[in-house]
Amino acid sequence: MDERNLAVSIHYNGTIFTDINEGFSFSDTSIHLFKIHINSDFHHLKDRIEKKLQSRVEEIIYRHPLINGEDDSVFYVMTPIENDEQVKSMFQCHITFSQLSTIEIYVRLFEHLETYPTQSIQSHQYGMSQTTDDEPTQNNEPFIPNEEVGGDSEDDQEEVRFEDLFVVRRRGADGRIPVRTLDRGASSSAAAAEPTGYPRGSYDMSLLVKYEHHVARHIWFGEERGPKKELKVVGHGLKLTSRVPLALPPQMESWVSRSGLASLQRTSLNKIDTNLVSAFVERWHLETSSFHMPFGEMSITLDDVACLLHLPIRGIFWSPQDVTEELAVELAVDYLGVSQGQAQSHVRSCRGSYYKLEWLYDLFVHHRAASSWAYATRAYILMLVGSTIFVDKTFTLVEARYLLLFRDLDGCSGYSWGAAALVTLYRYLGDASMYSCKQLGGYPTLLQCWIHEYFPTVGKRGENWNPAENCGLPRAMRWSYRQGVLKVDDLRPILDELTPTDVIWRPFEDHRAWRVFDEICLYRGCLKWGETVVPYLPDKCLRQFGYR
């Protein structure tokens, strides 16, 4: 079977229920099986399901597997599938979660509809151009690059290669993409002889499917992001220096310490070396969640997060509810202790379901003076995470939905904050690696301190203390900002010339007295925080774990 076809099991009718150990599951459902090509988009997936069930589909829900941080068992959440990006994330998750045989989908069908009509000719977007045949198949449907499985498979159809059905995009020696159509019966040997791939870049596009839009491709042809080659990167270290008190009131200190987030009060660099960070972002690829270096791949791992930030990497993964502006107002009234009018005015000024970081700091000061400790603590922690691990590209706001995490101040310690920080940074690194993006969200201190630990000869940095003198502080606090003189243009050839001997592969071995290596860091699969799902593939950077 072609490995580009993925097995899908469709559940319909019946019910969805929640099991305390397994998460979401299905009961009394009807099941159909089929296979779908890995490059299929949302419309093609929906159309295949509708043809299979001969009914109109109202909703598609993916039974999403997650790793349970406590015992490494599989736990399932339900994720709606509504667009092409979510379909790609679903396929990627299934590929990385290799122990699962099929993609499990639950569909809700429209009721009281006429029999589903078939079509003689149909065109689908696969992220590439497509031609259709004028002649339908025996079933009055076009040929499709999917193989049916199960009791009602259609094995009598002619076997058709994926390449023979579509306009094949092959890249010339100049990196551009000429388009030509292959006849169904034509041999592909002539096409195979054409130059493929990008010079000094990807030649097999089946993995790095976003490379066409990657900043590295454009840089090769002399196309920079703009007049400024570096990204806009904002660190809140200086502001936190003034906003984080030397000591919290005991009533607040207890909650902040138990939350697992206390270390974030002191870990931020005062400033960020935007040129250094930008040079590394140009080597990030979202499909592999790794930096592609001249000698292989490297990545920021869960172990790196645990040692640099001292955040818990085991715990609960959060699936948030949607927060409207009206709900953002209610949450501010109930959990931040502000009046209805004040909350409405503030949310309206944010133009969405957000709170301003400066406003949260002012609330913290106000409630601390009034000894309203719960309100003060929530405002303080929300301001803290919005200035560090949950920084978005507005750089001044934090999403109101994160307040839901701190409704119960005694229970917020159960979250996997380290994984949350990593997922958020991975997401923004993926965005920033695209040519059209000019800003980097996420926690830039985590990225820059990671660079300082692994690449001692790249960039300029100050050192507050020697690792041998460490008294159990997060390793990010070892580093301080020093203004570098190298620009992105200067750093690119330096990174090009790096060899394995330029890397400190195990920088945290002298830190194990305070952070013991956790085998959960070797988990391979997907990490999910909120609606963001990213591949986590430590097997691509095994040398960072001591393997050769």
Most confident of 23-27, 125-129, 145-149, 456-460: 456-460
Residue 143 has pLDDT above 60, yes or no: no
pLDDT of 454-489, one tens digit each? 999 999 999 998 877 777 899 999 999 998 889 999
Q: What percent of the chain has pLDDT over 70?
A: 80
pLDDT of 356-381, one tens digit each? 999 999 999 999 999 999 999 999 99
pLDDT at position 434 is 96
pLDDT at position 320 is 76
pLDDT of 296-317, one tens digit each? 999 999 999 999 999 999 999 9
Closest Cα to residue 445, out of 266, 290, 261? 266
Closest Cα to residue 104, out of 74, 55, 65? 65
Q: What percent of the chain has pLDDT over 90?
A: 57
Secondary structure E strands in 409-483:
439-440, 461-463, 479-481
pLDDT, mean over the chain: 82
CA 505 centroid distance within chain = 25
**542 or 75: whose pLDDT is higher?**
542
Residue 67, token pair as written in the block = 């790793």
**390 or 185: whose pLDDT is higher?**
390
Residue 109 has pLDDT above 80, yes or no: yes
Neighbours of 341 (CB within 10 A): 10
Q: Determine the Cα–Cα distance for residues 313 and 283; give it in Å rounded to an integer.
A: 25
Let me know: does 543 contact 296? Beta carbons within 8 Å.
yes
pLDDT at position 69 is 52
**19 or 195: whose pLDDT is higher?**
19
* H helix intervals, 35-108: 42-53, 84-96
Q: Determine the Cα–Cα distance for residues 160 and 163; give it in Å rounded to an integer.
A: 9
Q: Determine the Cα–Cα distance for residues 155 and 169; give it in Å rounded to an integer.
A: 29
Residue 294 has pLDDT above 50, yes or no: yes
Tell me which H or E stretch contains 382: helix 373-386
Task: For residues 97-109, give the mean pLDDT.
Answer: 82
Task: For residues 408-420, give the mean pLDDT.
Answer: 93
pLDDT at position 67 is 65
Q: What angle do CA 412, 413, 419 make, to 5 degrees?
A: 100
Residue 403 has pLDDT above 60, yes or no: yes
Let me know: does 405 contact 255? Beta carbons within 8 Å.
no
pLDDT at position 200 is 57
Let me know: does 251 contact 468? Beta carbons within 8 Å.
no
Residue 101, token pair as written in the block = 């045989």
Let me know: does 323 contact 399? Beta carbons within 8 Å.
yes
Residue 318 has pLDDT above 90, yes or no: no
**434 or 71: whose pLDDT is higher?**
434
pLDDT at position 159 is 33
pLDDT at position 152 is 39
Residue 371, token pair as written in the block = 């000894």
pLDDT at position 2 is 52
pLDDT at position 157 is 34
